[in-house]
């Protein structure tokens, strides 16, 4: 990507109506645009981050044997009435509207009912199970408040996975596999050391659930963590009874603020019984399917990463999710400088290295400030001085010192094969 072809621009000042640091930085850096509270558009650089996060999640979900699909956002009232979750007293985040013919519909806040109803077309025998499907989709939730930037949106992208099993044991095995996969996801995006499997209320889902909570001062939750055992319990269920039921001891628990980045639920057979999803087992008996639901807020996770990986200069993306690996800054329009910068840009592209090529006619200081604000992991500078010395100026985003490298050493440092 050439910077001169981007329509977005960076800003030196934070938006006056935005209090969340993640949104302030992302707006300043040109990654997102705020439409209204809790509603953001994702611009080209922001899309790159989202797609990188999605790809990490996709790889882990595919490794579980799950299959990707995408469902509709429009939801039928009668389907959710079947499970008593159309009622605003039960689910208080619905956006509801109606079709031109007066038929009431809801805008998807979750998909357990819809996907389970669909699976009735494909599950009838024990041979059809287990079945596991997932999607990346925009969810709409009418949150009472939304002041945490993209960490709590009224419109947001979620990865939601649904498992259909023949027995509790089969379900539990998959549930445990998803738990491990989620921990790998958070480790791959750089949050593994501060993310905990957390016992919590199931809300409109079940009595208890497991959340994945990342320690963050910007988080809206309070959890009690045992860092040695890598477990935690949400304050909302923190009492002696819950501790006893969940087998968690008070000893060693530390109170911290955290942001929820994922959650998983066991529904048992209740929802499948309500919706009529049964299978004929190998003994000839019809039995209800066991349902599990597993979510990761993709846009929320991006916000938590932005909160955690930032400094006084801007964002500091982990390489795995960064919009580009290299920020290539060309200083000046001398023919030799332009030629060498263009050649390196093509070399990076040919080797599959993502690069943002700053070919704008602006001051070096602006380019360096933008590189820091955008948080791209590595910066390479080409100027009259470097061309004359046949070197490249290289600096990692988190380093205070720049190095002078020849081409071979530059490629080795960036782990690019020749």
In tens, the pLDDT along 214-246 reads 999 999 999 999 988 888 999 999 999 888 888
pLDDT in the model for residue 173: 97
Q: What pLDDT is attached to residue 388?
A: 95
Q: Specify whether domain 8-311 bears CATH 3.30.1280.10.
A: no
Quote the pLDDT of residue 205.
59
Tens-digit pLDDT profile for residues 148-199: 999 999 999 999 999 999 999 999 999 999 999 999 999 999 999 999 999 9
**Tens digits of residue pLDDT in 84-98:** 999 999 999 999 999
Q: For tokens 């016992």, what's the residue?
A: 199
Lowest mean pLDDT among 12-21, 299-308, 387-396: 12-21
Tokens coding 350 = 């040919």
CATH architecture of 326-413: 3-Layer(aba) Sandwich (3.40)
Provide DSSP, 174-230: HHHHHHHHHHHHHHHTT-GGGEEEEEEE-TTS-SEEEEEEEE-TT-SEEEEEETTTT
For residue 204, what pLDDT is reported?
57
Distance, CA of 393 to CA of 405 (rounded, Å): 6
Q: What percent of the chain has pLDDT over 70?
A: 99
Q: Please check the confidence at residue 104 and state whether its pLDDT lies above 90.
A: yes
Looking at every residue in the chain, the average pLDDT score rounds to: 95
Q: Indicate whether 274 pLDDT > 60.
A: yes
Residue extents of the structural domains in the chain: 8-311, 326-413
Amino acid 206: pLDDT = 63
């Amino acid at each position: 990507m050439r910077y001169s072809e981007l329509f977005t621009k960076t800003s030196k000042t934070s938006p006056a109506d935005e209090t969340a640091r993640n949104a302030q930085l992302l707006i300043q850096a040109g990654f997102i645009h705020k439409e209204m509270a809790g509603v953001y558009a994702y611009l080209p650089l922001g899309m790159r981050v989202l797609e990188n996060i999605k790809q990490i999640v996709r790889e882990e979900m595919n490794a579980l044997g799950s299959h990707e699909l995408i469902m509709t956002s429009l939801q039928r009232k009668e389907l959710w009435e079947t499970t008593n979750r159309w009622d605003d007293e039960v689910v208080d985040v619905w956006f509801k509207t109606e079709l031109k013919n007066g038929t009431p519909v809801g805008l998807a806040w979750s998909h357990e009912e819809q996907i389970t109803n669909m699976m009735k077309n494909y599950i009838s025998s024990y041979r059809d199970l287990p079945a596991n499907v997932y999607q990346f989709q925009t969810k709409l939730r009418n949150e009472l408040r939304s002041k945490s930037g993209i960490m709590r949106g009224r419109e947001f992208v979620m990865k939601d996975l649904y498992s259909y099993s023949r027995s509790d044991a089969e379900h539990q095995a998959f549930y445990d596999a998803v738990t491990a996969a989620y921990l790998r996801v958070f480790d791959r995006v750089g949050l593994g050391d501060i993310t905990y499997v957390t016992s919590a209320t199931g809300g409109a889902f079940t009595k208890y659930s497991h959340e994945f909570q990342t320690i963050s001062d910007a988080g809206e939750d309070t959890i009690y963590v045992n860092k040695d055992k890598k477990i935690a319990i949400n304050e909302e269920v923190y009492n002696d009874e819950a501790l006893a039921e969940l087998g968690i001891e008070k000893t060693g628990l530390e109170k911290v603020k955290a942001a929820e980045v994922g959650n998983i639920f066991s529904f048992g057979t209740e929802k499948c019984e309500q919706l009529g999803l049964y299978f004929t087992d190998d003994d000839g008996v019809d039995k209800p399917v066991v349902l599990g639901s597993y979510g990761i807020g993709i846009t929320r996770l991006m916000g938590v990463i932005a909160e955690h990986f930032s400094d006084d200069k801007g964002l500091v993306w982990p390489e795995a999710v960064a919009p580009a690996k290299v920020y290539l800054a060309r200083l000046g329009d001398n023919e030799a400088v332009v030629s060498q910068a263009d050649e390196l840009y093509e070399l990076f592209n040919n080797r599959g290295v993502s690069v943002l090529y700053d070919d704008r006619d602006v001051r070096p200081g602006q380019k360096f400030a933008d590189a820091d604000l955008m948080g791209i992991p590595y910066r390479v500078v080409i100027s009259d001085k470097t061309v004359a010395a046949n070197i490249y100026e290289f600096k990692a985003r988190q380093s205070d010192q720049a190095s002078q490298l020849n081409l071979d050493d530059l490629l080795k440092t960036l782990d690019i094969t020749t």
